[in-house]
Amino acid sequence: MPSPSRFLALAALLASATALVPPGRKGVPNAPVPDNTTAPTPDNALIVHTASQVYQKSGPSVDAPPNASIPPTTVTAVDGTLTNTTVADAGSSRRRDAGRLGKRDSGFEKLFDGLPVGQHDASIEGTAYLTYTVVNNATYNVQACLDWCAGINGCVFVNVFYEFNNYLLDFVFSEKSNLKCAAYGDIHTAAEKTNFGGQASYPPGTQCFPFLVGNETIPLTYITQSSGWGLDSLVDPTTPDGYEPVFGPTGGANNAPGYMGFAFIDKYDVDACAQLCNTRGVDPIGGGCAYFNIWRAVVDGLPTTYTCSMYYLVADESTAVNFGQGDLVVTFSRGYSRISVLPDGGFEGYNGCTDFCFTASYSNWIGTSPPSGNWDATIFFYKPSGRSPPAKKLSTIVGTNYVIQVFFLSSFSGAQLEANAKVDILWNGVRVGGTSGFTPAWTFVEAPAVGTGNDTLSFVGGSVLAWTFIDDVFVYAA
């Protein structure tokens, strides 16, 4: 964690003599600032327990039409509570490859054979099911299935099988074929062949079985020649907009400070994790989500779920030391940090000393005072009063929505003198948010903004005998 040494203080000039010693003279705050340096780490036991409760395995149902659209990514659990909601704007699987385990132009391998002709078999029920199609069943047309899978963003595995006694395949759907190709966004094995059919698909009194009057005599569906074909390797997913890759893939998940919670999703979808991070909400101590770690949980050798762990501090591979517990193994772990378009939001660029010093301006920030004022906006290097952010390069895009995130502290002079403290957040000279009044601890504030490509962020305020400290300023694409 960076040294929490530098910050910005806004205040008006002292109007009269007072016993209050200002920050510029190493004044002691009216009340100690709470120590927020101990940041939470992941609750790995809860993650493992939830993985044993969630069920994400599926395949094409007996009555599903072929070539259905791939549904958006679904959230199956949040912080240990099972749920079933979609991730906004994270789906569109046919639109781009972003976030999935990936696909490549060649390299499908046979992973397992189907049982010999004449023997009943079973199709795959596994994680990350996408959609299915049917191909000409004059032959066992594996290549047609592989070509179809290669054209689907996110498809890395296809299960090829015949499904007999399916009334819809035989008489309703226009393809009139019972040779199914089921696409998945993860690799599966013969151990996951658990769908043996057994459904009553034909309705009583159909033209094919007019003599039947009860479901018990209607022929049931059954599966034959169920084989599996997967890619021989996986490729990196596309980096989500507004993020940069930090590490991965590895076999270890982060066990880092600044943990905000986790979510399970039904596909290995980096875009979905980014959306969950963007909309995670605010940690009262650490602020907004600045980093996520996505990884696949394999339980008893089978893909089971996909974890998005979120953090308000950026982690790295040095803390990716959680390799799993018990029957759960961590695979395909990657870390991504959120990009702030504001450089040096933690004032880490100010290096005027090693203990205590302050300045009105330096290369990354400019402090100004009104007429007759002096040191109203001051950048400090002083460990006891600061917090700890990283710094990023500025890069705004015209028309892009941004969110400004910042911590304020107005407690130095005590509740009475800080009552009139006020700071406005200005975006291109227009107020978009701010803070006011006494705040006994660092307070997180968000404000919206729209990029023009040449934007100015400033903080304006202060009040006589009051100081407002500012630290950890980020500007993220919303």
Shared domain for 287 and 384, answered yes or no, is no
Shared domain for 328 and 312, answered yes or no, is yes
* pLDDT tens digits along 296-311: 999 999 999 999 999 9
Q: Which of 338, 370, 399 is the last residue of a domain?
A: 338
Shared domain for 208 and 317, answered yes or no, is no
Q: Which of 323, 338, 353 is the last residue of a domain?
A: 338
Residue 61 lies in a domain: no
* pLDDT tens digits along 20-70: 777 767 666 666 666 655 788 999 999 999 999 999 999 999 999 999 999
Backbone φ/ψ region at 67: left (φ over 0), alpha (ψ -120 to 50), beta: left
DSSP 379-411: EEEEGGG------------TT-EEEEEEEEEE-
Shared domain for 128 and 214, answered yes or no, is yes
Q: Are 323 and 450 in contact (CB under 8 A)?
A: no
Residue 417 lies in a domain: yes
Give 416's contacts (C-beta < 8 A, 6+ positions apart): none
Of residues 203 and 334, more confidence is placed in 334
Domain extent, residue 179, equals 101-231
Residue 280 lies in a domain: yes
Shared domain for 165 and 275, answered yes or no, is no
Residue 458 lies in a domain: yes
DSSP state of 466: B
* pLDDT tens digits along 311-339: 999 999 999 999 999 999 999 999 999 99
Q: Which of 338, 358, 383 is the last residue of a domain?
A: 338
pTM > 0.85: no
d(CA 388, CA 44): 25
Q: Given this model, what pLDDT does residue 265 score?
A: 97
Residue 122 lies in a domain: yes
d(CA 282, CA 66): 42
Q: Given this model, what pLDDT does residue 245 score?
A: 97
Residue 32 lies in a domain: no
For the chain, the domain total comes to 3
Residue 387 has pLDDT above 60, yes or no: no
Residue 464 has pLDDT above 90, yes or no: no
Residue 84 lies in a domain: no
Q: Given this model, what pLDDT does residue 353 score?
A: 78
Q: Are 75 and 83 in contact (CB under 8 A)?
A: yes
Of residues 213 and 264, more confidence is placed in 264
Residue 68 lies in a domain: no
Shared domain for 152 and 211, answered yes or no, is yes
Shared domain for 262 and 194, answered yes or no, is no
pLDDT category at 203 given cuts 50, 70, 90 is confident
Shared domain for 463 and 387, answered yes or no, is yes
CATH of the domain at 423: 2.60.120
Q: Given this model, what pLDDT does residue 94 score?
A: 33
